[in-house]
Structure 1
Amino acid sequence: MAQSDKRALLAEGLAAGDDDAALHARLVDAGISAAAAKYEVDRLAKDPMAAMLRRQAARMAKQDWLFANQQRLAFEAEGGFALDVLADPEPASFYRHHYEANRPAKLSGIIDHWPALTRWSLDHFAAVAGDAVVEAQVERERDPDYELAKDDHRRLIRFGELIGWLRKDEASNDIYLTAYNSGANAAALAPLWDDMAPIAILDDTRPRDGFFWLGPKGTLTPWHHDLTNNLLVQVLGRKRVRLAPPWAFARMRDRRHCFSDWGNEALLAGEGDATNPPVLETIIGPGEAVFLPVGWWHQVEALDLSASMSFTSFRRANAHVDDYASYGAVG
């Protein structure tokens, strides 16, 4: 076996927390003689890189223990591992028990005063902005990594043309106007703000600060976590939202940036197991919302023709992206 292959085996073992005996066994299992394996393991005692890998493995083991404690506490909580449901929450209570506690929740009653609940329809969208040119994500179904490669799927389209396609009422994940397109669409879709009003739990000094989503039944946002706290508000149609906690990181198959290799997998709601993460699941309809805390994994599926708004304009800095550095490969 080449020396580089031996070193790779040793590095893998050190990163996994193997002691000398386990490292020796790993090499022997790979076909290396016992004597050669002993020689390679003995050399590690003077290798500073091996010492660093051992310290890193110890730190990771400590982190795993801390995450395991978070899981135990969540499962032992009154009501068990469940999604809180809040009716028109008082802002101070919401911030103390959910925003600051990094705890998700389903909310109702927070946009009952929005004209959008009765106005928004394809006819209304066509009337107020049908001639505008908007940006959308298209041809998503041909690309399994459409979310990671979303820049490749940006296209300009007349809003009325998109509305015409949506009138077919066909299930599809191929076209979706998303928050990622909001920068390009802010001016074109500005008239829709007249159908909205301030939300009590958000920062009232930042009006008209949100992101518009519109797509057919069948649009899927695959498993990922955001770099900010988010409030997803449903106005038209229904969406299924699945969530998994940050402390389930080891089971979320995160290999790159904030995306999970679970992709569009419909992970079952429940406490999970050694392979599958714990998952919360809910359906939000018109007038309902879900609070998605920073770091919580989630997947969103449109069950009907769907129009939503999302907001990051909380009464806190919500500046978690500033020191985020894991944009490349993670695992």
Structure 2
Amino acid sequence: NVLEVIQSLLDVTWENLNTGHWSEVPVEERSLYSTLSLIKVIVIIQSQVRMNGPVDESLKEALRAADLGLLLGSSLRKELSHAANLLSSALFKGNVSNPLGNGCLDNIEDKPGDWNFKGVFGELVDNLKCPSLEYFSKNHFTNKKPVKLTECINHWPALRKWRDVNYLLKVGGPRTVPVELGSAYTQSDWGMQLLTLHDFILKHIIEKGTTTGYLAQHQLFNQIPELKADIRVPEYCYLSEREEDDDNVDINAWFGPSGTVSPLHYDPKHNLLTQIVGRKRVLLYCPEDSEKLYSHGGLMLHNTAKVDPYEPDYESYPNYKFAKAYECHLYPGEMLYIPPKWWHHVRSLDVSFSVSFWWE
């Protein structure tokens, strides 16, 4: 059985990919996984045609193989993406009469969150209404000063379309995505699970079980081009400190229920955090206060603080009381510019969908 042989090879390669730190995995192993995944897709489809088996189950199995090849592999991305898009479209056509929920993410929460928080409060960051590129560059990009930007993305189709659960299911319901489970990546209850977007929305957005699920820091738009067509790279991202990087922008999705948290951390790149659905509160601290925030250190968490701004432990981290906090309340259609090395803690008040743009 050719499929059994391919699956055995994929299982061995999977083990190799998940041994040690991801950054140290040889590119040849990832390339092999991509190749085997594409072969599996082809074999499944050929077998389905030859044996005339259940179409939906074959399509789902083939689509999962293509998505895993995209998520874990490093080559044949164009071929895998094309195959995944065709399979996803075929699956949706077969389930068009099966909507999920009441259709609107805004109506899922029984009781929306509010801005009454315990813990630390900060000075509100500046707020600008669609500044010119020149003004933003001179006063914020060059000076590395955070700012909230409004009325810059009102034309994005995402602001309307992504509020509709069934639109998200239409363009990506059968797609496999990595979901973070637990309160935060710094906690012992944290883990990762691969789910279809449909199952993620059902279990963690609509039903909202006991474990928090967060589709966080995932390049969803490389995986689902229909969603990428609903947004635009903001012009501010084309400001660059290095000319050769002026078109190198990393775009990530952040989708989850109310109460999701990104612990206090910093990123090495410029960041525009755009809010599409729901609201978020962001606390910020300047790089000069780094020692007062008590980094975890080490390879994995050197850019993550031990301090929790919502439950500050001044006995263990006494200098934290001297750190100056800033904060930003993000609503749909707004963006927050977070400069490199600026510490930030992010909490969602509602079901939330955000997009981050990182660049140098």
* Displacement after TM superposition at 1:161 (Å): 0.5
Residue aligning to 1:87:
129
Give the greater-gyration-radius structure (CA): 1
Residue aligning to 1:105:
147
Q: Deviations over 1:270-329 (max 9, x none)?
A: xxx95421101121010001111111111000100000100013xxxx1xxxxxxxxxxx
Secondary structure in 1 aligned to 2:264?
Answer: strand
Residue aligning to 1:242:
283
Kindly report the root-mean-square deviation, in angstroms, between the aligned alpha carbons of the 2 structures: 2.8
Residue aligning to 1:137:
180
Residue aligning to 1:71:
none
Counterpart amino acid of residue 306 in structure 2: D
Unmatched 5+ residue regions in structure 1?
A: 1-79, 268-272, 319-331
| Equivalent of 2:349 in 270, 292, 303 | 303
* Displacement after TM superposition at 1:245 (Å): 1.1
Counterpart amino acid of residue 194 in structure 1: A
Matched, 1:255 2:275: no
Secondary structure in 2 aligned to 1:217?
Answer: coil
Counterpart amino acid of residue 265 in structure 1: Y
Q: Is 1:238–1:304's contact at 8 Å kept on the other side of the alignment?
A: yes
Secondary structure in 1 aligned to 2:229?
Answer: helix
| Equivalent of 1:118 in 137, 144, 160 | 160
* Displacement after TM superposition at 1:93 (Å): 1.1
Q: Is 1:171–1:217's contact at 8 Å kept on the other side of the alignment?
A: no
The percent of aligned pairs where both chains have the same amino acid is 27
| Equivalent of 1:219 in 255, 260, 264 | 260
Matched, 1:192 2:234: no
Aligned residues: 222
Rounded Cα–Cα distance in structure 1 between residues aligned with 2:177 and 2:129? 35
Rounded Cα–Cα distance in structure 2 between residues aligned with 1:82 and 1:170? 31
- Seen in structure 2, the aligned counterparts of structure 1 residues 248 and 173 have a Cα distance that, compared at 3 Å, is farther
* Displacement after TM superposition at 1:222 (Å): 0.6
Rounded Cα–Cα distance in structure 1 between residues aligned with 2:166 and 2:341? 37
Residue aligning to 1:210:
251
Moved over 6 A (4+): none
* Displacement after TM superposition at 1:223 (Å): 0.6
Q: Is 1:85–1:106's contact at 8 Å kept on the other side of the alignment?
A: yes
Of stretches 107-116 and 273-282 in structure 1, the one that deviates more from structure 2 is: 273-282
- Seen in structure 2, the aligned counterparts of structure 1 residues 153 and 298 have a Cα distance that, compared at 3 Å, is same
Rounded Cα–Cα distance in structure 1 between residues aligned with 2:344 and 2:215? 19
* Displacement after TM superposition at 1:111 (Å): 0.6
Secondary structure in 2 aligned to 1:201?
Answer: helix
Counterpart amino acid of residue 226 in structure 2: P
* Displacement after TM superposition at 1:136 (Å): 1.6
Counterpart amino acid of residue 168 in structure 1: I
Question: TM-score, normalised on structure 2?
Answer: 0.56
Rounded Cα–Cα distance in structure 2 between residues aligned with 1:133 and 1:306? 20
Unmatched 5+ residue regions in structure 2?
A: 1-121, 240-245, 313-317
Counterpart amino acid of residue 174 in structure 2: D
